[in-house]
Structure 1
Amino acid sequence: MVPIFSSSGDVEYLLSLRAVRERCFKVQEAAVKSKLNHFDIDESKLQDMTQFIISFIKRDYDDPSQIPAYGRWRHFDVGGRPRLQTMINSWSSMGTDAIEQTRRVLDLMVVAVLLDIDPGQHNWSFREKISNRVYKRREGIAVAILEMFNSGLFSINPNQPHRVDAEALSNLTMDKLLTGFQTESMNGLDQRIELLKHLAKTLQDRPDYFGGELGHVPRPGNMMDYLLSHPTTIKTRKGPLIHLETLWPVVYEIGELWTVSQEKTRGGTLGLGDVWPCPSLGDNQFVPFHKLSQWLVYSLIEPMEKLMGAIIEGTEQLTPLPDYSNGGLLIDTGFITLKKTDYERGITNYRKNSLLPGQPKIEMIPTFEMSDPVVIEWRALTIAYLDLVAERVRSTMKLSKKTLSLTQLIEGGITSAGKELAEISRPNTQQPPILIKNERGVIY
């Protein structure tokens, strides 16, 4: 649908990070008043969910302040192998300076986020060449992408393999990616390769963000040069102080609007991206999530901080992400429950979807399209209530936001709890309690 807004200010607001938290809390307010159309809330279980997350933090970390940041970097460390740091160390030993190291890791992170796909096939796995170990799911995808990056698949220059550039992305084929993932087919990969080709065009169309002028090769990592030269960036003794508002429009260009570039798309709202109407809110319905863009920001901040000593000002605007493990936590703890009619409708959708080629046929799970109001409410409740849970966790553990940041809390407690509950609740597939139908234009 094409939104109608009273002013350009409405559009600017919905494109902002501030709107994500504010609008999701509007849905939370409706939940408290029992005015949601699709979920019932059991507020008495909020403290149970808080204690559950605390138990994971205490189990896995002696010192919560040492919890690593939430981001794609973690997936590269699967199996206890610091793959990225080892690679960075090798560059450093060859005399590569810090800013070029940062450009390279940003190149890798952008591709890794845009290809951050749940392979779908329960038996898909990737065998790492150097260790001969087998990895699955998002961690396996990450290790596969790293091997492709090291092989120079994303660079047009064989003498500079550790690079992602526009020309190489434009020439990328499905066969090359499938070979890289050691498989003959993968659900949703066709959409992801189109997303990479969109990235190639964006790199060329926005030389101000990604280079391209004065003979520079357009690449995602050149955003570091843009950020360093931006008039709002301040040089400090530790490193550059970069405002999140400066990074946000750069990230937004990379992928989110691709999903809504066609009028018949189901990936969001035209001109706004990951923004959806929530009928429970009445006339002023739109709720933004900007999940892909936020996932990119989380993943890009870490290399900037580690390699450049950068200080990113304004990260408190970032929210918990409405992904499967986080959203599943609210349902698997019994905190939110699908209304009976929606559950039955979701099971009917599941049965229809299971008849399609390549779709799972075990453990019946309510299934909905991304645009379904059930999914909109679920995602909004995930962001708002995990925000509230984060405050309760800190209060109970007597920790400040500086000692236990949101990014650490997500990494060390929320996501881990969601994943393990899914494994316990649905041991055959570890699927989330609600499935979002795999369809064109939806990047989830």
Structure 2
Amino acid sequence: MAPTDVEYLSSLRSVRERCFRVQEVAARNQLQHFDIDQSKFGDMVQIVLSLMKRDFDDTSEIPPHGRWRHFDVGGRPRIRNLINSWSSLGEDAMEQTRRILDLFVVACLLDIETDYTWSYREQLTGRILKRNEGVAVACLEMFTAGHFSSDPSKPHRVDSEALIRFSLETLAQGLQVDVNHNLLVVLQDRVDLLRHLGQVLQNRQDHFGTDVARPGNLMDYLLAHPTTINTKKGPLIHLETLWPIVQEMGEVWTMKSSSASSITSNDSHSMKGATRELGDVWPCKTLQTTTESNEYDHFVSFHRLSQWLVYSLIEPMEKLLGATIEGTEQLTVLPEYRNGGLLIDTGFLTLKQPDLERGLENYRKNALLPGQPKVEIAPMFEMSDSVVVEWRALTVAYLDIVADRVRETLGLSRKKLTLSQLIQGGTWSAGRELAAISRPNTQEPPIVIKMDRRVIY
């Protein structure tokens, strides 16, 4: 692979550009796996608008999309309470930011897609929490208990030494996993990811500190970077400076650790969790032609985990240090189940019959395995399946168009109504609510992605 291919497909810019190439094929009605009903596009726009109007008196009140929202489940401001407690003990804004970044990095890397059977009982309140919010609160309680710190006298931090020796047993206990009643899958992969992060922290002391290597020390690196500008409002930080760091913390794990034995028989580039050297980048048959200038012309990049880290980390930088992150307009809708489900549950996208039948057969075979879902039948595919690649690309592109239509309807600019706000107050919420209506027993997405080793997105 030429260095220019690696550089481009690893970039954030490539996500929107490559996904819109798939959308152009959709506009010509030449997709491989989905049919599109353009008459349903307006329905998506109206659903997003109605949810925003229902939940917020003013669009300026919509918070940004990020892991912070999950910690506040049930209306309890857990992160703000934690920050206030540090402030009362004399910790300055810089150290508070480092600690929140520490927490948010591990919380994003442990953002496991749970099924409807798993739940978490919050130790402080006794509340029963589920899904992303339950995992977030579990991470918070592991953090405050000092499970990510090697120094018992400084429990509220994450450091390389603790991560490198982090155990499966600690994670299972922290998430209250019970193999008989409260099961979560692929936990070992998440432990491996935390251990990888520990190694990255030690190997890149320029990014994460020479004394105690912590994710939060990336704030010091960003503030000292020559591209950062100090203004009266606060530091102006370029997204391009942060981007390679978040990729190193998450995606590089799959880029370099996938073994040759995990290459699929269909495509020598494809791994179960990534494309070698590139991470969350996949071959897309929809774009494959006989006139490609090189073998990577039909690859589509998503970088979902890296973008999730960026969305989550910039919020505490802005709130605690008054930072401005330049270049956030490059971020896209995250190609995950709630956003993607909105396109299908509104009828805008429909699986072609052969793929529907294949997906349902995949589900039936998988349901015969111990511990696998059997409640509500839905088409199932592996992450590397071309159906999933096409679905994810269409999610990024079409919800970008939905966002523009919503702004146009409200008469708001991109600055007045950011994509981050639109995801949080509209597309993500709509996808989750439609899933609950369409599949009330499990609230699962309309297409199930089979969880397997090395799939961390």
Q: Shorter-normalised TM-score: what interval?
A: over 0.9
Q: How does 1:406-417 map to 2 (within 5 A)?
A: 406-417=419-430
Amino acid at match of 1:276: W
Q: 2:170 aligns with which of 167, 171, 176?
A: 176
The whole-number CA distance in structure 2 between the counterparts of 1:127 and 1:412 is 27
Tell me how many residue pairs correspond in the alignment: 435
Local SS of the residue matching 2:396: helix
The whole-number CA distance in structure 1 between the counterparts of 2:25 and 2:360 is 26
Q: 1:158 aligns with which of 149, 152, 155?
A: 152
Amino acid at match of 2:337: Y
Alignment RMSD (CA, Å): 0.9
Match of 1:294 in 2: 307
Structure 1, unaligned stretches of length 5 or more?
none
Q: 2:33 aligns with which of 35, 38, 44?
A: 38
Amino acid at match of 1:128: E
Per-residue deviation, residues 205-259 of structure 1 (Å, max 9, x unmatched): 1111111x2xx10010000000000000000011100000000011110011212
Amino acid at match of 1:278: C
The whole-number CA distance in structure 1 between the counterparts of 2:177 and 2:276 is 34
Matched, 1:395 2:427: no
The whole-number CA distance in structure 2 between the counterparts of 1:182 and 1:242 is 39
Per-residue deviation, residues 320-352 of structure 1 (Å, max 9, x unmatched): 000100000000000011000000000000011
Local SS of the residue matching 2:325: strand
Per-residue deviation, residues 14-67 of structure 1 (Å, max 9, x unmatched): 110000000000000001111111011111211111011100000000000110
Matched, 1:91 2:89: no
Q: 1:323 aligns with which of 336, 351, 360?
A: 336
Q: 1:313 aligns with which of 305, 316, 326?
A: 326
Amino acid at match of 2:146: G
Match of 1:442 in 2: 455
The whole-number CA distance in structure 2 between the counterparts of 1:257 and 1:235 is 31
Match of 1:346 in 2: 359
In the superposition, the TM-score normalised over structure 1's length comes to 0.97
Per-residue deviation, residues 347-389 of structure 1 (Å, max 9, x unmatched): 0000111111211101111000111100000000000000000
Matched, 1:277 2:283: yes
**More divergent stretch after superposition (34-43 vs 239-248):** 34-43
Give % identity: 65
Matched, 1:229 2:224: yes
Q: 2:132 aligns with which of 127, 138, 141?
A: 138
Per-residue deviation, residues 377-426 of structure 1 (Å, max 9, x unmatched): 00000000000000000001111112111000100011110000000000
In the superposition, the TM-score normalised over structure 2's length comes to 0.94
Matched, 1:249 2:232: no
The whole-number CA distance in structure 1 between the counterparts of 2:113 and 2:393 is 22
Match of 2:266 in 1: none
The whole-number CA distance in structure 2 between the counterparts of 1:9 and 1:374 is 27
Match of 2:11 in 1: 16
Structure 2, unaligned stretches of length 5 or more?
263-270
Local SS of the residue matching 1:431: coil
Amino acid at match of 2:99: R
The whole-number CA distance in structure 2 between the counterparts of 1:347 and 1:433 is 11
Once the two structures are TM-superposed, the CA of residue 123 in structure 1 deviates from its matched residue by 2.5
Local SS of the residue matching 2:319: helix
Match of 2:193 in 1: 195
Once the two structures are TM-superposed, the CA of residue 183 in structure 1 deviates from its matched residue by 2.0
Match of 2:100 in 1: 105
**More divergent stretch after superposition (37-46 vs 304-313):** 37-46
Per-residue deviation, residues 57-86 of structure 1 (Å, max 9, x unmatched): 000000001100100000000010000000
Match of 1:430 in 2: 443
Matched, 1:368 2:381: yes
The whole-number CA distance in structure 1 between the counterparts of 2:190 and 2:349 is 32
Match of 2:272 in 1: 266
Match of 2:68 in 1: 73
Amino acid at match of 1:269: T
Match of 1:50 in 2: 45
Q: 2:206 aligns with which of 201, 204, 208?
A: 208
Amino acid at match of 1:363: E
Matched, 1:26 2:24: no
Q: Which runs of 4+ in 1 moved over 4 A?
A: none
Amino acid at match of 2:121: R
Local SS of the residue matching 1:360: coil
